[in-house]
Structure 1
C-alpha cells in the first residue's frame, strides 16, 4: 500500500515591512538623482552661484546689501526651488513614467515607506546642493557679516524640506511634474510671490525667510510672513504633500492585485 506525503500549503506572501526608511529604496533613488544628466544640472546651479559671488566680490568688495540681493534673489528665489524641482520630481516621476515603479511596488515594502524614503533622499540632495553653496557664496560675498551667510543657508535648508515634499507630490500626480514644478518655481515663487503682497503668504520662499530671519542680525533678512505662521505652513504643506503622495502611490495597483 503506497502512501503519499502531504503537500505543504503555499507560503503566505510576505507582509510589507512596517518601517519608515528602506535602505535599498534610498540607494536606488540616490543613483537615479545623481545620474550623469541630473548631476550636471545639480552641480551647474551651485557652481554658477559661487562664480557670481566670486566675480561680485572682486568687482565691488564686501557689501551686505549686495550679498543679500544675490542670496535672496538668485539663490533662495531661483536656485533652491529649481534644485527642488530636479530632486523632488526626479525621485519618483521617471519610475512612474517608464513603468519601472511596478518592480518596486512588487516588493514587500509599504508604499508609505517608499514615499518617505524618497522624500528623505530628495531633502538630502536638495539641501546639499543648495544650503552648502549658499553658505559658501555668503562667506565669499561678505564674510558672513550680520550672519547673512548662515541665515540664508538655514533658509535654504528649510525650504528644501517643503520643496522636496511638494515636488515629490507633483511626481506622483502628473506625468508633467517637471513642467508644473518649473511653473511653480519660476512663475509663482520667483515672480508672483515676490511682487504680489497677498501671494507672499503662500510662498515657500517667504516661509523659509521667516526662519532665516531669526538667525541673521536684525534687519538682515526680511519676510512677509511671521515666524509662527511660517512654521505652521511649512509643517502643514510638508505633511499633507507627503501623505497625499503616499495615497496616490497606493492607488497604483499591480496586475492581478486585489
Structure 2
C-alpha cells in the first residue's frame, strides 16, 4: 500500500465525472427505499427483492466497474502510469494500492447505501439488512479485483465488464443454471443467504464453494493485474 498513490487515485476518482455516477446510483436506491417505506410496501419479501435486484445485482457490479476500471484505466490510456512505473515501487504495491482504493470506493458507495436502504425498509428484521451489507462488501472485493485486472489488460475493460455484469450474470444467469453458478453475484448471495433467516433470499451456490471461488477470483485477478502491469514498460519502450 502506497499512501501517495492512494491519495492521488482518490483525488482523481472523486474529482471526475465518475463521482456523479458514484453518488447518483446509491441515491436512487435510497430514494426508492424511502418511497416504499412511506407507501407501506416494505414487507420482508419486497425488501429482499429490492436489496437483491437493485443493491446486489445492479448497484454493486456497476459501481465496482466504475471504481475498478477508473482507478487505473485512465492512467494507462493517457500514459500517466509511466510516471508511476519509473519510480522504485514494486508493481504489486501499485496494484494492491489501486485495488484497495477501488474497494474503499465500492464500500462507501455500494455497501453503505445498501445498509442504509435496508435499515429504512426493514430495519434488522431476520438479519436481512446486515446480511446483504456483508454480501455486497464481499462481492465488491471480488468485482474490484476482476475489473482492476481488466483495466490493466484491456483498453475495452468497461465494455467487457458491462457484458459480463449485464449479459452473463443478469441475462444468461436467468436461463442457464451453469452461468448463474459461475457468477460473483450468486457467490455473494450465498454469503447473504447464510447470514439471514429471510426465506426469499436463496442462492444456487453452496456456501463453501462460494467462499472458495470468491477468494480464488480475487487472488487471480490481483495476480493477473500485477503480471500485466510488469509488462507495460517493455511494451511502451518498444
Q: Is the TM value for this pair above 0.5?
A: yes
Gaps spanning 5+ residues in structure 1: where?
1-20
Q: Give the Cα separation in 1 of the matches to 2:167 and 2:48.
A: 21
Task: Report the CA distance between 1:193 and its aligned residue.
Answer: 2.3
- Partner of residue 43 from structure 2, selected from 57, 63, 86: 63
Deviations 1:87-137 (A, max 9, x none): 000011000000010001011100111001111111111111111100111
Match of 2:158 among 157, 178, 183: 178
The question of 1:212 aligning with 2:198 is answered no
Q: Provide the rounded CA distance (Å) in 1 between the counterparts of 2:174 and 2:124.
A: 24
Give the Cα–Cα distance (whole angstroms) in 1 for the partners of residues 191 and 65 of structure 2: 21
Quote the residue 1:26 is aligned against: 6
Q: Deviations over 1:183-224 (max 9, x none)?
A: 111112222224321111110011011111221115252111
Paired residue for 2:70, among 84, 90, 104? Answer: 90
1:217-249: CA deviations, max 9, x gaps? 152521110010001100110001100110000
Answering whether residue 228 of structure 2 is matched by residue 228 of structure 1, we say no
Q: Deviations over 1:138-192 (max 9, x none)?
A: 1111222111111111110001100000000110111111111111111122222
Q: For the residues of structure 2 that align with 1:201 and 1:249, how far apart are their CA atoms?
A: 30
1:156 corresponds to: 136
Structure 2 residue 144 is the aligned partner of structure 1 residue 168? no
8 Å contact 2:128–2:198 — kept in the other structure?
Answer: no
Q: Which runs of 5+ in 2 are unaligned?
A: none
Separation in structure 1 between the aligned mates of residue 147 and residue 100 of structure 2, nearest angstrom? 13
Where do 1:81-160 residues align within 5 Å? Answer: 81-160=61-140
Let me know the Cα RMSD of the aligned residues.
1.7
Partner deviation per Cα, 1:48-86 (whole Å, 9 max, x = no partner): 000011111122343000001111011110110000000
Distance between the aligned counterparts of 2:138 and 2:209, measured in 1?
A: 14
